[in-house]
Amino acid sequence: MKRKMALAKQTILALSGDEAVAYAVKQSDVDLVAAYPITPQTIIVERFSEYVHDGEVDTEFMCAESEHSALTACLAAAAAGARTFTASASAGLALMHEILYVTAGCRAPVVMAIVNRALSAPINIHCDHADSMVERDASWIQIYVENSQEAYDSTIQAFKIAEDPDILLPAMVMLDAFFLSHTLESVNVLPNEAVLKFVGTRKIPLVRSHEDKLVPFKLDPENPLTMGPLDLYDYYFEHKRQQEEAMQRAPQTIKQVHDEYGKISGRRYGNGLVDPYRLEDAEIATICVGSTAGTTKTVVDQLRAKGVKAGLLRLRTYRPFPSQDITKAVGNVKAIAVMDRSHSFGAHGSPIFHELRHVLYDAQTHPQVVNYIYGLGGRDMPQTLIHEIYKDLQKIVKTKRVEKPVQFIGVRE
Amino acid sequence: MTSKQKGWKEVPIAGVCWTPTTDYLTGDWRTFKPVLDREKCTKCLLCYVYCPDGAIEWKRKEEEIEFNYKYCKGCGICANECTQEAIKMVLE
Amino acid sequence: MASEWKFTIKDLAEKPELFMPGHRACAGCGPAVAYRQILKAARGPIIATNATGCMEVVSTIYPYTAWRIPYIHTAFENVAANAAGIETALKVMKRKGRLKHDHVDVVAFAGDGGTYDIGIQALSGAVERGHDFLFVLYDNEAYMNTGIQRSGGTPHGAWTTTSPAGRVIPGKPEYKKPIADIMVAHGIPYVATASPAYWRDLIIKTRKGLEVEGPAFLHALAPCPRGWRYDTGKTIEMARLAVETCVFPLWEAVDGEYSLSAPSKVIALKPERRKPVREYLKVQGRFRHLFTPEFEHVIGEIEQIVDKRWSMLLKKCGMA
């Protein structure tokens, strides 16, 4: 009875991924949304501007003249003490690249939704993880969602994670272009008061200023401080080390926020960092981020029905990379296929493959790990192809041999 | 001039500066030093308003100009602009 | 009201130095003079933001800061977006009851790099959206911080490291972008040009820029001894000569209506007071190569463009 009472009364709305994100932002008492439209993120900004123009939110909506300026405005506003949000994709995110690093370096807790889309050239508007994968070094918290429900939930959680005074790192929430952004789903939304209570008001920590006082970490004429100085080789390294320390603290915060949110919504995604599916006794498994996990779950169920010990590990949090949780989850699997929807050209395989193999290097048991690069530019990843991957994994377990560690799947030869 | 170097655990986050430039004495940059002939000085304060470094102060109580040699870089703008030729740049 | 603000230079001297001594600008730095004067026009709580460049670097070499007021620097091309973000944040926080001040001024500083060229997009966007802030361009007419490379603000014929005085091409072939006119064309409520040699004019214009509701643009000429090649003590002389020769006339445009400021008006009314452009070029090493038989014609070109722009300005001010 007590648990039931803690759950907030939710409403079911038919929302696409983009709309779900806009709805989450609407409820989170955001001060400024500065954004520039780019397919497939456009619905987020369009919907949100409707909320603003209809007086449904007390938020300023700035139609920035470019993504670079959009993120800059969010960063500067956050520096002044505001809660800010922006959204982008593909080329827009690429244009922001410089400022991603600056935002993290200034420890501004900006939240951004990225609708994963391929990078040019040739220009392609469809689902691909290249845009956000390339930003994994920028010191942003990265969370990939599987469906529109999770897009809604994670956007709300992102504010709380980013603004945590021990973290103070910006956070990006990724949703797949068109598969999620433009597809209607039933999304359970919390009541406004519940979200408001959950996100609260921004807690601003104290920092020592040049007046040798501890003052709130924001631009305030009452307590002036200087942000964004020139570091020479005598201090830059220390500042970056601090950022890494915040990243190291982040898994704890992410799990905590995820858990707290689970208490009011009744929804959890694994432990917040990794989302295992039928992995406990699995002998073969795939690993991926994003909506492909949804399709893979169906395949796993089909295989399980036939007695195959198949499983799936969906990575929810990509940065910080949850090494321990991954090692624990897949430690006893015999063969793992990492499905990457992006590629590092010229490298031996793709980003998630690299990071997974690397993390398992230190593990007690070494499963066979292979890489399948799929779905670039929105190429569909149907169940048939995923079945093929699991069949390959079964062969690997049987023959104890890997013929091709890295393969492209779904591309016409 | 340089304070003891702090480690990453000590420095404020986000590169927030923790010392004012008034702790950094740029006075040792100069070669020439402005010297004021107080008899010629009409206290127009043009030197004050043209100094790039704020190294000229107006002492209200004493009603006198004061050069702050801790910061003066010896650029010579004050000497150049003084309408009374009351400031001379002297090799230090 | 700026127009009613009466102050003596001694009044200014009693205001705190918001741009503190100990910064590491070069001896004789024009922008530093401009900054000190501009900040004297502060009328209350104020937040500053700076683009990457000379003044940003010299004023905030970690852990030192020359800023007595809240200050942020993020990147080179986006200072106007910084200002937009801050101004909007203040607006919202005030509305939501999270701001203890009734009004906070926002001022964005940038050099010619961060204004004419890489910064123009953010500037144009921010003023189009009508944010209430003052944008100050400190124009030392080249990318000085990175080593005197040419910018859109470098005048015709000037030597810079990327428009050197060569055997075939004598300095910068292109002309100075009329940035202040571009800002007037954006339809913003206040645009002005200023020179630190005319400190009262500059300070009053700054105050007007802060007071106006909406975007304001102040184009301050800021001579650089290193880049213009003259002795450090002559910075104010350069800033004065530029006005006296009409190379850099002083004017304001209030809601698009141009009017000459006193130092330039005097010349418009008494053209005999105008000094020849040559006098300005002669005393700067960056134009030295033009005083040769081979490239003398460039001086003629410079005189022509200065005269043309001066007469166009007179027309706009109704003083043709």
Q: In this structure, what CATH number is given to the domain that contains residue C80? A: 3.40.50.970
Residue C52: pLDDT band with limits 50, 70, 90: very high
What fold, for A2-204+244-265? Rossmann fold (3.40.50)
Strands C257-260 and C251-254, bridge-based pairing: antiparallel
Of the candidates C56, C85, C98, the beta carbon closest to that of A74 is on C85
Q: DSSP 3-state assignment of A216?
A: strand
Tell me the pLDDT tens digit for each residue of B24-35.
999 999 999 999
Q: Check residue A6 and give its pLDDT.
A: 61
Closest CB to A228 among B12, B15, B19 = B15
Q: Is C190 helix (H, G, I), strand (E, B) or coil?
A: strand
Check residue B3 and give its pLDDT: 53
Per-domain boundaries in chain A: 2-204+244-265, 274-409
pLDDT at A1: 39
- For range A70-79, the mean pLDDT: 98
pLDDT of A303 > 90? The answer is yes
**Residue A95 confidence (pLDDT) above 80:** yes
CB contact set of C311 (below 8 Å; sequence gap of 6+): C320
Flag whether pLDDT at A278 surpasses 80. Answer: yes
A321-342 average pLDDT score: 95
Which tokens hold the place of C165? 């005085």
Which chains have 3 or more CB–CB distances shorter than 8 Å to chain A? B, C
Residues of A whose CB is below 8 A from B12: 207-209
Is A210 within 8 Å of B18 when comparing Cβ atoms? yes
Same fold, A2-204+244-265 and A274-409: yes
For β-strands C134-139 and C216-221, DSSP reports them as: parallel
Tell me the average pLDDT across A216-243: 97
A366-to-A308, A332, A334, A402 alpha-carbon distances in Å: 21, 9, 8, 13
The fraction of chain A above a pLDDT of 90, given in percent, is 96
CA atoms within 13 A on the CB side of A108: 36
Residue B1 has a pLDDT of 42
Domain spanning A274-409, CATH class: alpha beta
Q: Which of A69, A77, A229 sits opposite C86 (nearest CB)?
A: A77
Chain-chain contact of C72 with A66 (C-beta, under 8 angstroms): no
Residue A54 clears pLDDT 60, i.e. is over it: yes
ipTM > 0.90? yes
What's the rounded Cα separation, in Å, for the pair C83 and A385? 51
Instruction: Quote the tokens at residue A80.
Output: 């002044």
- Paired tokens of A151: 């897009």
* Choice among A120-134, B2-16, C284-298 with the minimum mean pLDDT: B2-16
Spatial separation of the C-alpha atoms in residues C117 and C77, rounded to whole Å? 8
pLDDT at A371 over 90: yes
A219 vs C46: CB contact, 8 Å cut-off? no
Return the pLDDT at A2. Answer: 42
Taking the CA of residue C3 and the nearest CA in chain A, the distance in Å comes to 26
CA atoms within 13 A on the CB side of A102: 27
pLDDT at residue A225, as a whole number: 96
A104 touches chain C (CB under 8 A): no
**Residue in B5, B13, B15 closest to A229 by CB:** B15
- CA-based nearest residue to A132, from A123, A120, A121, A140: A140
3-state percent helix, strand, coil for chain A, nearest multiple of 5: 40, 20, 40
Give the full edge-to-edge strand order of the sheet including A310-315.
A274-277, A310-315, A284-288, A335-340, A368-374, A406-409
With 70 as the cut, is the pLDDT of residue C55 above it? yes
Cβ neighbour number for residue A362 with a 10 Å cutoff = 9
Q: Do A105 and B6 touch (CB under 8 A)?
A: no
Residue range B34-58, pLDDT digits in tens: 999 999 999 999 999 999 999 999 9
Helix (H, G, I), strand (E, B) or coil at A47: helix
How many other CB atoms are there within 10 angstroms of residue A52's CB atom?
15
Q: Is A80 on the interface with C (CB under 8 A)?
A: yes
Q: Is the pLDDT of residue C79 over 60?
A: yes
**Is residue C107 classed as helix, strand or coil in its secondary structure?**
strand
pLDDT averaged over every residue in chain A: 96
pLDDT, one tens digit per residue, over A127-161 is: 999 999 999 999 999 999 999 999 999 999 999 99
**Helix, coil or strand: residue C292:** coil
A220 and C CB contact within 8 Å: yes
Q: Which range of residues forms the domain containing residue C294? A: 2-316
Q: Note the pLDDT of residue C47.
A: 98
DSSP element (H, E) containing C221: strand C216-221
CB of B42 less than 8 A from some CB of C: no
- Measured between its terminal Cα atoms, the distance across chain B in Å is 21
- Number of domains chain C contains: 1
3-state secondary structure of A98: helix
CA distance A43 to chain C (A): 22
pLDDT digits (tens, 9 = 90+) for C199-250: 999 999 999 999 999 999 999 999 999 999 999 999 999 999 999 999 999 9
Structure tokens at C187: 């339809």
CB contact (8 A) between residue A99 and residue C74: yes
pLDDT value at C44 more than 80: yes
CA of C239: which chain B residue's CA is closest? B50
Mean pLDDT to the nearest integer, C271-299: 97
pLDDT in tens, C139-159: 999 999 999 999 999 999 999
CB contact under 8 Å between B20 and A234, yes or no, is no
CB contact under 8 A, C89 and A77: yes
- Determine whether the interchain pair B22/C22 forms a contact, defined as Cβ–Cβ distance below 8 Å: yes
Q: Tell me, which fold does domain B27-91 have in CATH?
A: Alpha-Beta Plaits (3.30.70)
What tokens appear for C46 in the block? 């104020």
* Alpha-carbon distances of A152 from A18, A95, A158, B60, rounded to whole Å: 9, 25, 10, 63
Give the integer Cα–Cα distance in Å for A20 and C194.
51
Checking if the pLDDT of A238 tops 80, the result is yes
Mean pLDDT, residues C179-188 taken together: 98
Is the Cβ pair A208, B13 closer than 8 Å? no
